Homo-oligomer: A and B are copies of this chain.
Amino acid sequence: MAVNLAPPDPASLHPVAGVELGVAMAGIRKPGRRDLLVIRLCEGASAAGVFTRNRFCAAPVILAKRHLGAAPDTRALVVNTGNANAGTGDDGLERALAVCRSASRALGCAVEQVLPFSTGVIMEPLPVERILAGLPEALADLRADNWHAAAQAIMTTDTVPKAVTRRLRLGGSELTVTGIAKGAGMIRPDMATMLAFVATDAKVAQADLDAMLERAAGRSFNCITVDGDTSTNDAFMLIASGASGVSASSAADLAALGGAVEEVASLLAQAIVRDGEGATKFVTIRVEGGRSPEECRRAGYAIAHSPLVKTAFFASDPNLGRILAAIGNAGIDDLDVSRVDLYLDEVLVASKGGRHPAYREEQGTAVLAKSEFTVRVRLDRGSAQATLWTCDLSFEYVKINAEYRT
């Protein structure tokens, strides 16, 4: 029951030259579903990644960071769903390494050129033998026009696969940015979302790619929350295959390409919220007039994480008091609440910290009855701002998480 999120049209997903994807049904947790993905990169491709800051980060996260540090010339990413290989200690690292080793042998590259990613149940041993048994099927399936199947293969509690393409012209050539992501619960990325893979066929120097990734993460996956829980497995990878032969190196080219990457990342991040566990509303929270972007984000997250606010969204209840109380709890010690304005879409509902005299409740109810709306807060103490995306808290969220074993 995702909020205004249609499954991507497979025909709309442009292949990225130099990037091939293959999927398999490895039976990792359940039989009969695609649960293993291999992404093969051409020689000369570069990769950058940002990862969860959860102290209990998973074995594949530890290993992916280590391999990325040892060998920036990544040749393959191996992604499994059904098991997160998190909270599994040294044995988990051994198992993730076994997967990389097997893939590296099949692909004829060094083990450090393979990055592992896992998502699914936490604290259970990775069924490495099933993954190894599934690898040949995934490798045999490798092709450039396989992004849709790849988006399906990384889903867990997602109800809709998430994939986006943007094309741009650079130096007379057509370039492609295509990405996929997964995630629906345990979503409050601290560096990246659960799993997102975005690739372009442009050639980008490593330092520029790293900067492009940081910027895109900061404006996409780091601006969403479903339930405030940061996963142990979050990773956002940006790949530049260089296979188009077009280099993005000037400031203007990097800005254009970076803009397309950011757009893809934002759409994927918003898709995760639209498909948030139990979500019935997609809510944009915009906080303006703060002293710093950080305090705007803090106020925004205080709203987005309040169970009382989220249940009011679910009920289409314009409960101004809960929103203002959440702002009051954001930890902005010197906040002067008598200067705070609050809008629901274009309706000024509270001004100077109290209910606006002209506001009628039917107006607020009409906004919140929509499947998408914006909560806009003006703090009136500076010029910084921040935008976040979140969803409501419904019966369904409790049902999903009382029944599903992450």
Chain A residues with a Cβ under 8 A of chain B: 54-57, 84, 86-89, 91-92, 121-124, 185-186, 190, 227-232, 305-308, 311-312, 314-315, 317, 319-322, 324-330, 332-333, 335, 337-338, 350, 352-355, 393-395, 397-399, 401-403, 405-406
Contact = CB atoms under 8 A, between A and B. Distances in A.
Given A307-B229, A327-B56, A329-B230, A321 B406 contact: yes
A37 B185 CA distance: 44
A129 to B, nearest CB: 19
Contact of A55 (B122, B335, B352, B397): B335
Contacts of A227: 306-308
Contacts of A337: 55-56
Kindly list the 4 A-B residue pairs having the minimum CB-CB distance in the complex, ordered from nearest: A122-B321, A56-B328, A315-B402, A311-B401
Contacts of A228: 305-307
A399 B393 CA distance: 10
Contact of A89 (B91, B332, B352): B352
A116 to B, nearest CB: 18
A185 to B, nearest CB: 7
A232 to B, nearest CB: 5
A307 to B, nearest CB: 4
Residue from A54, A229, A325, A398 whose CB has the most chain B CB atoms within 10 Å: A325
Contacts of A306: 227-229
A312 B397 CA distance: 12
Nearest to A54: B328
B398 A308 contact: no
Nearest to A313: B402
A123 B232 contact: no
B88 A314 contact: no
A229 B308 contact: yes
B402 A87 contact: no
Contacts of A350: 87, 123
A353 B311 contact: no
B87 A354 contact: yes
Nearest to A327: B56
Nearest to A309: B229
A282 B58 CA distance: 30
Contacts of A55: 327-330, 332-333, 335, 337
Given A230-B325, A321-B406, A353 B87 contact: yes
A328 B232 CA distance: 8
Contact of A122 (B89, B123, B324, B327): B324
A338 B395 contact: no
Residue from A231, A328, A332, A395 whose CB has the most chain B CB atoms within 10 Å: A328
Contacts of A325: 54, 56, 86-87, 122, 186, 229-232
A311 B57 CA distance: 22
A317 B86 CA distance: 18
Given A311-B402, A332-B55, A402-B315, A321 B355 contact: no
